[in-house]
Structure 1
Amino acid sequence: MTSDVILAIDAGTQSIRAAFVDATGTILAINQVPIQPYFAPQPGWAEQDPEYLWTALCDATTGLTTQHRDISARVVAVTLATQRLTMVNVDAAGKPLRPAIIWADNRRADTSKVLGPAAMGLAKMVGIGGLLEFSIGYARSNWIRQHQPEVWAATHKYLFLSGFFTHRLTGEFTDSTANILGTIPFESKTATCSKPRSINGVLFPIEPEKLPHVVPPGAQLGTITARAAERTGIAAGTPMIAAASDKACDVLGAGCLSPDQGSISFGTTATFNVPTSTYVELERFLPPFPAALQGQFHTEVSVLRGLWLVTWFKEEFGLAERLAAAETNQAPEALLDDLIRDIPAGSLGLTTLPTWMPGPHGDPYGKGAVFGFGDVHTRAHLYRSILEGIVFALYAGAQQTAKRTRTDIAVVRASGGGSQSDVLMQITADIFGIPAQRPHTSQTSVVGAAISTALGLDWFADASSAVAAMTRQSKQFEPIHANTSIYRELFDRVYQPSHQRLAPLYKQIALVTGYPERS
């Protein structure tokens, strides 16, 4: 095991990465290929060509293996973590039948064609009508069946992006149970397919034969085929081991094993997660997510437009930093950190509400908001307010999580690109009022997938041993109590009440302007 290496692939929304990871959790080498997240053939849609994504994966792995042939020769297994809820319809040969529908897509199926008015009326009476309407409408399979029946009829397998990549790599229509989630006839609690007349079977009527075979994290999915070896540079016959979704791997790669350890992912979608050994629903009928460890779960609260807001600010207001970054070979985000370093906690009252994407219990008219402007405010205050708003939303999720798990959060560990910002990490410690730790790498999804694989290869006796060997914290940020006091007041008296007070105005905006368009 000393010299053995795992090749871990992480297919996210903004890029696809391939990395060599050893038994200490050290990333020996990594190659990152940026990707266009999606294109929008209609407003609100988000699609991408699966072949484009497969080519990017091949570019990531071939770039890695050709640059580091000595390390490549030590690879004993391949593993994969991917973005969630990106769906691909394929024929019997694994050829895509239509563009993949990306997780950020906002199209909706017609609920009435799945669940009749009597059943929906009863659901509304017992308080779950909104949840069912969202879930049925969000299900990509329902939309395809209604609008592209010829595609659905020709579909041999209906795959998550993870299953599509696994088939391209191994020739097997197999996936990890830890990737099967969302609007699929699958029971998260037991990791088994739903019966046709179960709730999930009725809401998401997918023929069982169209779904892939599944195995638990740590089990073998197959081996790299000769054809895949030519495209990827990975040796034919290399075992491919099941891992989990990118967020589940983030939790494990951050070293979180108990519900008092919060995992924050500062990615395009920002999330707050805690691992649990038991099945815990944060909200009624919303199951937890499958973890990267067999039989385990993790809770999650999402800010769907999390660090996307940082990119938005950089593009719309950060021209000076982008130009300076190009001249000095720095990241624009590092210069934006310098811009706000002396802005006081609370941004002198400028407040950002970052949550406007619709969800199972979300406001269909919901929008983001920035309020509290005064003549003292500059773009620096706006940028800090955006960061504070993202963390406030995650903190609200942490409070809900602690209540449901009956466990106080003692520490948070942050990963993703945003975790490299000392300013954002300090804001996190101050708002949460507890230590915020930065793991030894921002690539926690890569490390988490490698840990899951290492356990499958019997490198370690148990998860605790694997996490102790392969994760560690590089820096800890202690809360500044004066800042925490300010943030507590703003959270309780301004941030939390704002959503309810603004909701009626959001609806009026939609009625006047027609945005967002409602079906």
Structure 2
Amino acid sequence: MTEKDLLLSIDNGTQSLKALVFDACGNLLAKEQVLFTPYFSDRPGWAEQDPFVFWSALCRACQGLLADSGIEKSRLAGVSVTTQRGTVVNLDKEGQPLRPAILWLDQRKCHGQPPLGGAWGLLFKVARLTDTLTYFQSEVEASWIARNQPDVWSRTHKFLLLSGYLNYRLTGRYVDSVGSQVGYLPFDYKRLRWARSWDWKWRCVPVRPAQLPQLVPPGQILGAVSRTASRETGIPEGLPVVAAAADKACEVIGSGSLDPSVGCLSYGTTATVNITHRRYIEPIPLLPAYPSAIPGFHAVEVQVFRGFWMVNWFKEEFGLPEQLAAEKTGVAPEDLFENLIEDVPPGSLGLMLQPFWTPGIRKPGPEAKGAVIGFGDIHTRAHLYRSILEGLAYALREGKERIEQRSKIPICSLRVSGGGSQSDLAMQLTADVFGLPTTRPHLYETSGLGAAIDSAVGLGLHPDFETAVAAMTHTGDRFEPDASNHKLYDALYRKVYKRMYRRLQPLYQKIREITGYPE
């Protein structure tokens, strides 16, 4: 009998979907990637996508992988799904989408929601969190749909995250992982389950319990591949589907970060700093610790919205020479940016960037804008590019310090994953800004590997998560901080960067009042 020793991971990102096959040692044996347009916008600030685009990409990726890689289907032990966070799908009673999915990048607001009254309203007022609650209410996608498309909302049988939609298409069951629940939903992040009936979230989100999927912890089987899904994807019928977690949570364990003293940075479209912790710790009041890819644990996280998306922004706005050169040489424009800044010294000759291109809820607040200060006639676009990388590292260092303050555990080393981790310059810069040894994992596909770790434990290929992470994750290149560079960065961070937001916040508020942007 053929040994079932391989794990299939589905990793649905913002710009592509990957089908990945790993063995029980964490080796990547096969990969198939399908690119798609991230979203379309009928109006400025909207970001939507036909859910069928995601499912079609999954089918094409799996069919291509299983047809061309030489992987024997009979060796597959199970499949797991990890996806982008906060993307929502409305389904009717037949399981068909009622409207395009609203992506996590979407910036529409639903203003004018009734204030929370009663004891909950008083509690938020006393805690001085009323503005934060109002912001939360304006961000709820379900509220926008219910108000602006009441016919769609009245016919919504299930309201799912993208992970729930793909798991439904694979199994025919409305079931999803606890580890994937990151979004504006009535979820109890502390207890890792749907909120209790009296929780304030049910009064701020127009979702009914019956519209939500059943939840199972990461590492447990949530169903099996249906006959229909097998025919469309090529995945064997009956193959167990194991609950994984959202992409960032999977990246953390896929990077080998289980101890809260090991910080995990994700240099992706959204840049984040994470630790895995058994305790529930809110790094910023009312901003929850998200579910970990390990059952019962939490991913304590601080985000920088539009993180390494800013590299793409720079490419589109200032990188025409590199784009033209890339077309001639076949080298990625991002690789040419490395050459662009090789002569720019650490600190960018005093050019300091605050990477608040997209505002947040608190620290920075909804009034925040990006800022660049310190310009002089010596500065070029090369200095601006380096200041982007440095500004992101400063913001993540600030997030690290918030996490340490709340967890009471110092972060002593860093693991970095995501697209930005492929840059040696970005890795060394990170080590220098933080003053900590910084390591990239042995492979780039840490999100898919994290999902495979969940499968490995759930299917018994490893007895527990500690064993699975030790066996399946390995460190790659290690970057030690340069003492002189760290001294310079530390002074700029403490004496300039950390004071920028406080000094500029009143001006941001005035800009918002005068221009109405951001809303």
**TM-score interval, smaller chain:** over 0.9
2:141 maps to: 140
In the TM superposition, what whole-angstrom CA distance separates every residue of 1:429-459 from its partner, at most 9, and x where no partner exists?
A: 0001010001001110011000011000111
Counterparts of 1:181-260 in structure 2 under 5 Å?
181-260=182-261
- Cα distance, 1:119 vs. partner? 6.5
Q: Secondary structure at the match of 1:312?
A: helix
1:287 maps to: 288
- Equivalent pair of 2:9/2:451 in contact (CA under 8 Å): yes
**Which AA in structure 2 matches 1:330?**
V
Of stretches 499-508 and 14-23 in structure 1, the one that deviates more from structure 2 is: 499-508
Q: Structure 1: how far apart are the matches of 2:178 and 2:32?
A: 27
Closer, same or farther in 2 for the Cα pair 1:204/1:57, shift >3 Å? Answer: same
1:175 maps to: 176
1:422 maps to: 424
Of stretches 164-173 and 110-119 in structure 1, the one that deviates more from structure 2 is: 110-119
Closer, same or farther in 2 for the Cα pair 1:337/1:72, shift >3 Å? Answer: farther
**Which AA in structure 1 matches 2:439?**
Q
Q: Structure 1: how far apart are the matches of 2:511 and 2:284?
A: 29
Q: Indicate which of 438, 449, 452 corresponds to 1:450.
A: 452
Q: Structure 2: how far apart are the matches of 1:99 and 1:244?
A: 23
2:435 maps to: 433
**Which AA in structure 1 matches 2:420?**
G
1:164 maps to: 165
Q: Secondary structure at the match of 2:113?
A: helix
- Cα distance, 1:162 vs. partner? 0.3
Q: Secondary structure at the match of 2:280?
A: coil
Q: Structure 2: how far apart are the matches of 1:155 and 1:465?
A: 42
- Equivalent pair of 2:305/2:359 in contact (CA under 8 Å): no
- Cα distance, 1:48 vs. partner? 1.1
- Cα distance, 1:103 vs. partner? 0.8
1:15 maps to: 16
The answer on 1:400 being equivalent to 2:396 is: no
- Cα distance, 1:279 vs. partner? 1.2
Q: Structure 2: how far apart are the matches of 1:34 and 1:396?
A: 34
- Equivalent pair of 1:281/1:299 in contact (CA under 8 Å): yes
**Which AA in structure 2 matches 1:267?**
G
1:379 maps to: 381
Q: Structure 1: how far apart are the matches of 2:42 and 2:103?
A: 12
- Equivalent pair of 2:185/2:201 in contact (CA under 8 Å): yes
1:89 maps to: 90
**Which AA in structure 2 matches 1:68?**
S
Q: Indicate which of 473, 476, 479 corresponds to 1:477.
A: 479
Closer, same or farther in 2 for the Cα pair 1:440/1:228, shift >3 Å? Answer: same
- Cα distance, 1:56 vs. partner? 1.7
- Cα distance, 1:181 vs. partner? 3.0
Q: Structure 1: how far apart are the matches of 2:369 and 2:23?
A: 44
1:468 maps to: 470
1:127 maps to: 128
The answer on 1:56 being equivalent to 2:57 is: yes
Q: Structure 1: how far apart are the matches of 2:179 and 2:410?
A: 26
Q: Structure 2: how far apart are the matches of 1:191 and 1:488?
A: 38
Matched-pair identity in %: 47
Q: Secondary structure at the match of 1:110?
A: coil
- Equivalent pair of 1:196/1:202 in contact (CA under 8 Å): no
Q: Secondary structure at the match of 1:112?
A: coil
Q: Structure 1: how far apart are the matches of 2:517 and 2:146?
A: 27
1:340 maps to: 341
The answer on 1:499 being equivalent to 2:476 is: no
- Cα distance, 1:510 vs. partner? 3.1
Of stretches 326-335 and 266-275 in structure 1, the one that deviates more from structure 2 is: 326-335
2:35 maps to: 34
2:69 maps to: 68
Closer, same or farther in 2 for the Cα pair 1:364/1:70, shift >3 Å? Answer: closer
Q: Structure 1: how far apart are the matches of 2:71 and 2:248?
A: 31
- Equivalent pair of 2:10/2:19 in contact (CA under 8 Å): yes
- Cα distance, 1:34 vs. partner? 1.8
- Cα distance, 1:286 vs. partner? 2.4
TM-score for the superposition, normalised by structure 2: 0.96
- Cα distance, 1:47 vs. partner? 1.2
- Cα distance, 1:117 vs. partner? 9.8
**Which AA in structure 1 matches 2:426?**
L
Q: Structure 2: how far apart are the matches of 1:71 and 1:380?
A: 49
- Cα distance, 1:21 vs. partner? 0.7
Number of residue pairs aligned between Structure 1 and Structure 2: 517
Q: Structure 2: how far apart are the matches of 1:170 and 1:76?
A: 16
Which consecutive unaligned segments of at least 5 residues does structure 1 have?
A: none
- Cα distance, 1:505 vs. partner? 1.9
Q: Structure 1: how far apart are the matches of 2:348 and 2:317?
A: 20
Of stretches 440-449 and 57-66 in structure 1, the one that deviates more from structure 2 is: 57-66
- Cα distance, 1:193 vs. partner? 2.0
Q: Structure 2: how far apart are the matches of 1:251 and 1:129?
A: 32
- Equivalent pair of 1:2/1:23 in contact (CA under 8 Å): no
Q: Structure 1: how far apart are the matches of 2:86 and 2:115?
A: 20
In the TM superposition, what whole-angstrom CA distance separates every residue of 1:252-271 from its partner, at most 9, and x where no partner exists?
A: 00000011000011100011
Structure 1 moving runs of 4+ over 4 Å: 116-122
In the TM superposition, what whole-angstrom CA distance separates every residue of 1:5-51 from its partner, at most 9, and x where no partner exists?
A: 11101111121111111111111111112222222212222111111
- Equivalent pair of 2:18/2:33 in contact (CA under 8 Å): yes
**Which AA in structure 1 matches 2:346?**
A
Of stretches 62-71 and 391-400 in structure 1, the one that deviates more from structure 2 is: 62-71
TM-score for the superposition, normalised by structure 1: 0.96
- Cα distance, 1:120 vs. partner? 4.8
- Equivalent pair of 1:134/1:359 in contact (CA under 8 Å): no
2:369 maps to: 367
- Equivalent pair of 1:37/1:48 in contact (CA under 8 Å): yes
Q: Secondary structure at the match of 1:302?
A: strand
In the TM superposition, what whole-angstrom CA distance separates every residue of 1:277-296 from its partner, at most 9, and x where no partner exists?
A: 11111122322110001111
- Cα distance, 1:397 vs. partner? 0.2
- Equivalent pair of 1:77/1:241 in contact (CA under 8 Å): yes
1:510 maps to: 512
**Which AA in structure 1 matches 2:489?**
Y
1:318 maps to: 319
Q: Secondary structure at the match of 1:401?
A: helix
1:298 maps to: 299
